[in-house]
Structure 1
Amino acid sequence: MARGRLGAAWPTTAQRRGGRLRVLGRRRAILPRLHRRAEHRRGRGVIRTRDRHPVPPWATVGVLAVTGVLAALQGTLLLPLVSQLPEIYGVGTVGASWIITATMLAGALATPIVSRLADMYGKRRLVVLALGVLLVGSVLLALTEDYVVALVGRTLQGVTASVLPVSMSILKDVLPPERVGSGIALVSATLGIGSAVGLPLAGLLYGSLGYSSLFWLVSGFAGLLALAAWWLLPRGESAGEKERFDWVGAALLAMGLVPLLLVLSQGNTWGWGSATTLSFLVAAVVAFAVWVPWELRTHEPVIDLRLTARRPVLLTNIASMIIALGLLSNLLLASLQFGSPAETEAGLGLTAGQTGLAMALPAAVFVVAAPMLGLLLRRYGGRLVLLAGSLTMAVAYSLRVVLDDSVVHVVLGSVLIGAGSTLAMAAMPMIIMSAVPRRHTASANGVNSLCRMIGTSASTAALAALTTATAVVVAGHEVPTPTTIHITCWVLAGAGLAATVLVWFIPRDHEHVERDAVPASSSTAVPLTGAIICFPFAPTTTGIPRKRVRSR
């Protein structure tokens, strides 16, 4: 029987008539139409997916990394303009705060839902869909300054936060094992990069090109990235199209998350002991009390609580919530000190441009450290790297108490904290994905991202309350004092130590995952498993021995 260039046999007449095989070209092997799986050509650095074009790994990682930066940017893009938002939209201070709150709520609600849908219906589809939603929301914000439309646009922008956990799962699927750590480290670093870049970028664009330029820039990148994601990301399989999404569980989860996050974001305005705050807290507790039994009884829950209760996953999620307290606080403290007038006791009197340059240094740490983090993760594992990250943050926040009297000292303290947070952010997805079956990696990462969002929201609320209690008013603006900086740093240093203790109790053998929990039909299963069964002849370049299968 004649053979093709890659060693696969030409089909017989019966096979051609049966329509089960197709000729893909004179220079390519004959492969089954319905059973092609993703194939890693690791030796040549090429990822062959079910699409017709080979994709180099750096292209996949690059698209996901830039997407992560754009997603993280939405959380801090408008923070420097909070004082200008009432004038832009013609509303009061409370109304303007909802422009920020809407994005946070949308991100927290969308993350577990989109992550679960990605596991079920394909990860590339959901990444492209989230970028399309970001594009629509950004265009709405750029075209009009109507307050209601702005709330809708900011809500749509917040959905993009769900891209990060899905990106981690894609990297786990497509990269060789020796490159997974570096890829996840780089994409994890985008959370810090986007957050750090958003603070100075907003001030620079708003002062030079106007308010709408912020959203035209975002919409342009969103459109380009949506096209790049559709073309470069692996299509994979729809792992759970026959499954049914748990819409009741998603609704109950939303009924619990919305009042909880509203309390965290609006507690300073409503008053922490007010009837409104207490009513929302009671509503959140009741919703979660109904949601937990429902998820335990549901065959296909939106969040698998039994997986979440596994010791490595549970401890990592709690630690991530505590570590998240210091992620955004580091950037907010530094920007407050840089932008405060030099006449004040804690201010350094930098302009918007100078603040942008100073804030760029902590962001550069995330990029520079990513390749080294891959080596650390591969050599020592996620547990030890997370342990080092949380301990580094605790020590760095302690040093930050004395590193507050000059621009160089503040930048140095921020860089040290950024180094610790980079270690922690890169290690958490590795621990989570190694402790759950592959078909649940996106949803498990989504829960971890949700925990980080809750921790970040809590830290922002606590910092605002502390600033209000200890700051001084200069020209109508609250300016932090040394007391504000020192109390915040000591509290966050204690949080870092608490996270270190939790991480210490994560089992050392958490990488073990039951193989039986990973079905061969899953989109994240070993890509060439089906090839041995379905291919009449396996190409020799895959490293799998040829195996003849009698045709029907």
Structure 2
Amino acid sequence: MPETDTSARARRSSTPPWAVLLVLALSTFTVVVMQTMVMPIMAGQAESLGVSMADVSWVVTVNLLSAAVFTPFLGSLGDSLGRKRVLMITLGFVTLGSVLVAVAPTFAWVLVGRVLQGTGFAAMPLAIGIVRSVFPPERVPSSLSLLSALTGIGAGAGLLIAGFLAKAGVTPQGMFWISAAATSLGLLGVAVLVRLPERATGFHIDLWGMVTLGGGLACLVLAINRGPRWGWGSMTVLGLFAGGLVLLVACCFVERRVRKPLLDMSMMRRPVVLGTNLTAFLVGAGMYGAFILVIQFVQTPSRFGYGFDADALGAGLTLLPLTSGTLIASTAVSLLVRRLGPKWPMCIGTVVAAATFAFLLLFHTEHWHFFVGTGLLGLGLGLSMGAMPILLNSGVEPGRTSVANSVNQTLRSVGGSIGTAVATAILAANTPPGAPLPTVDAFPISFAVSGAICLLAITAALAVPYRHRAPGPGPVLVEPAAAAHGGR
């Protein structure tokens, strides 16, 4: 139900914006950290649970599958039943999942816990919806850019935190007790500090939409994630790709015919929304592969002719400049949005990302080259991702904010899975038979491919139709009507 200006002002005056932003930042940051924290500790989990490395890799796969299925659904649920309520439920699932992983007696329980943790991907779009509902208009761009920047920061921070904790002797199970404590603290903060009176509008479960969208995304994510192990030409992987595409096409037809669709296809076809989502997909595909490339390169023993003998902590420290770059970008986004609108920070971010891979293509013989590269990558991630929610929100109604950002988040994750799979495939193709590691030639090829994807992201970002109106005395930053209809 739409709210009056009076009720909105009353709600904002009763809620300290900094407290709301702090608790939302803690919640979303912890969820993102949790997704990457498992990577350096997979070997330890495999040993403690008595399973192979091939089996333990499913802790990543099931987490991504869960995110693909539940993120759009929880975003839509938040728009209908209340974003605070659904965010609290989501954080409750994530906390329970962390506890299950921490106490799991068998590998099956670990997988169940990781499925519950995968629902946490919906925390970011729900938080974006809360910010749009609670904050004064002039505070929205800077707050959204900070929340979005946490995605990039958390991805690198998870690896660094896991390295520090492993160095300190914390077991994999102990790490998940820490993450459970952090998300439970976020849950308590949301319950106490986010004062958001919400009225449920009645949620109609679009069963066919859930089956076709969730099933299609799950098939694609599973095929991309398991392709390197099962073989890209295997009938299972090809069947998953085909099934995913068929289900997603069916979803487009189904959602145009149901009375209350999970996805409003007319909204998804709006030029601003479509262009921003395409850019998000390409940004994920181009940038996320850099994590696995940087980590593997710097951890390679120097006796192989390249690499810097870094351990897990050293690899995490190499990604530390990414955090600084992302924080700088989150500050710059709010200034650029006010002067230029959200389109141009997103475009600049994709340009910086392409320049990052050009730099690494030319310079990758010294360890400091990677410190520079990850700093530039953080700047590109922060600019592009920080601007996306602001640009996306200019093309959708306030009541559809969470589901629109959920789709954007999901496409970014699917793109990231593709980028990681492409990087992994290139490294595997350049590993001689019987050799434990790829040749050094694999990395320039990977940097070039990632850079080429970022060039496509630049093209997609430039093509997004958006007309910015310079702010006058008031805080108006965008023209939703013009943006929604593709005006320039």
TM-score, normalisation: structure 1: 0.81
Deviation at 1:506, TM superposition (A): 1.3
- Bigger radius of gyration, 1 or 2? 1
Residue in 2 that maps onto 1:221: 182
User: Which of 417, 434, 446 matches 1:488?
Assistant: 446
Q: Deviation per CA, 1:412-466, whole angstroms, max 9, x where unpaired? A: 0111121111100011111110001111111111110111011011111111111
For 1:204, what is the secondary structure of its paired residue? helix
State the SS of the aligned residue for 2:57. helix
Q: Is the 8 A contact 1:239 1:439 kept in 2?
A: no
Aligned mates of 2:43, 2:335 — CA distance in 1:
44
The answer as to whether partners of 1:366 and 1:422 remain within 8 angstroms in 2 is: yes
Which aligned pairs between 1:117-136 and structure 2 lie closer than 5 A? 117-136=77-96
Aligned to 2:12: 47
SS in 1 for 2:195: coil
Tell me, in whole angstroms, the C-alpha distance in 2 between the residues paired with 1:407 and 1:235. 48
- SS of 2:153's equivalent in the other structure is helix
CA contact (8 A) 2:325 2:377 kept: no
Partner of 2:414: 454
1:501 corresponds, among 459, 468, 477, to 459
Partner Cα distance (1:262, 1:168) in 2: 28
Matched, 1:87 2:24: no
- CA-to-partner distance for each residue in 1:313-335, whole Å, 9 max, x for gaps? 11111111011123322222222
Letter in 2 for 1:484: A
Aligned residues of 1:74 and 1:158 also touching (Cα < 8 A): no
1:364 CA displacement: 2.3
1:239 CA displacement: 5.0
1:289–1:35 CA distance, 2 compared to 1 (3 A):
closer
> Which is worse superposed, 137-146 or 218-227?
137-146
Q: Is 1:512 aligned with 2:479?
A: yes
Render the CA deviation track for 1:54-111: whole Å, top value 9, x for unaligned: 3211111111111111111122111123344432322233321211101111111111
Matched residue, 2:429: 469
Shift of residue 505 of structure 1?
Answer: 1.6
* Deviation readout 1:266-315 (Å, 9 max, x if unpaired): 01111111111122222223322322211001121111111111111111
1-structure distance, mates of 2:332, 2:347:
16
Residue of structure 1 in register with 2:106 after alignment? 146
Q: Determine whether 1:400 maps to 2:360.
A: yes
2:474 aligns to what? Answer: none
Change (3 A) 1:245 1:91: same
The letter of the residue matching 2:371 is V
Partner SS, residue 91 of structure 1: coil
Quote the residue 1:443 is aligned against: 403
Alignment of 1:104-115 (within 5 A): 104-115=64-75
How far 1:35 sits from its partner (Å)? 9.1
Which structure 1 residue ranges, 5 or more long, are not aligned?
A: 1-33, 49-53, 518-552
Deviation per residue, 1:168-216 (Å, 9 max, x gap):
1211222222221110111011101111011122233234121211101
Note if contact 2:132-2:140 (Cα within 8 Å) is conserved in structure 1.
yes
The 1:473/1:341 distance shift into structure 2, 3 A limit, reads farther
Letter in 1 for 2:333: L
Choose the corresponding residue for 2:379, options 400, 416, 419: 419
Q: Is 1:376 aligned to 2:376, yes or no?
A: no
Aligned AA (2:93): V
Paired residue type of 2:466: R
C-alpha distance in 2, partners of 1:36/1:424? 31
Secondary structure in structure 1 of the residue aligned to 2:404: helix
CA deviations on 1:105-127 (whole Å, 9 max, x unpaired) are 11111110000000001000111
d(CA) in 1 for partners of 2:369 and 2:53?
Answer: 34
- Letter matched to residue 243 of structure 2: A
What whole-Å deviation, never above 9, does each CA across 1:244-279 have from its counterpart, x for those lacking one?
Answer: 231221122222122111100001111111111122
1:236, 1:187 → 2: CA distance?
Answer: 22
Structure 2 residue identity aligned to 1:502: A
Identity of aligned residues (%): 29
Query: CA contact under 8 A between 1:403 and 1:413: conserved in structure 2?
Result: no
Query: Is it true that 1:64 corresponds to 2:24 in the alignment?
Result: yes
Give the CA RMSD over aligned residues.
2.2
Post-superposition offset of 1:36? 10
Shift of 1:129: 0.7
Secondary structure of 1:401's partner?
Answer: helix
- Partner of 2:12, secondary structure, is strand
Matching residue of 1:349? 309
CA distance in structure 2 between the aligned counterparts of 1:404 and 1:106, rounded to whole angstroms: 36
CA–CA distance in structure 1, aligned partners of residues 355 and 422 of structure 2 = 21
Alpha-carbon distance in 2 for matches of 1:513, 1:205: 46
Shift of 1:340: 1.5
Alignment match, 2:472: none
Instruction: Give 1:233's aligned residue.
Output: 194
1:138-217 mapped onto 2 (5 Å cutoff): 138-207=98-167, 208-217=169-178
1:430 maps onto 2:390 in alignment: yes
Residues 129, 401 of structure 2: 8 Å contact kept: yes
- Secondary structure at 2:480 match in 1: coil
Moved more, 217-226 or 355-364: 355-364
The residue number in structure 1 matching 2:473 is none
- Taking the aligned partners of 1:236 and 1:439, their CA distance within structure 2 comes to 14
- Deviations 1:507-538, CA, capped at 9 Å, x for gaps: 132843349x9xxxxxxxxxxxxxxxxxxxxx
Q: Number of paired residues?
A: 471
In structure 1, how many angstroms separate the alpha carbons of the residues matched to 2:341 and 2:293? 32
Contact kept, 8 Å, 1:376 with 1:385, in 2: the verdict is yes
Q: Which amino acid aligns with 2:132?
A: K
Which AA in structure 1 matches 2:230? W
Separation in structure 2 between the aligned mates of residue 136 and residue 215 of structure 1, nearest angstrom: 10
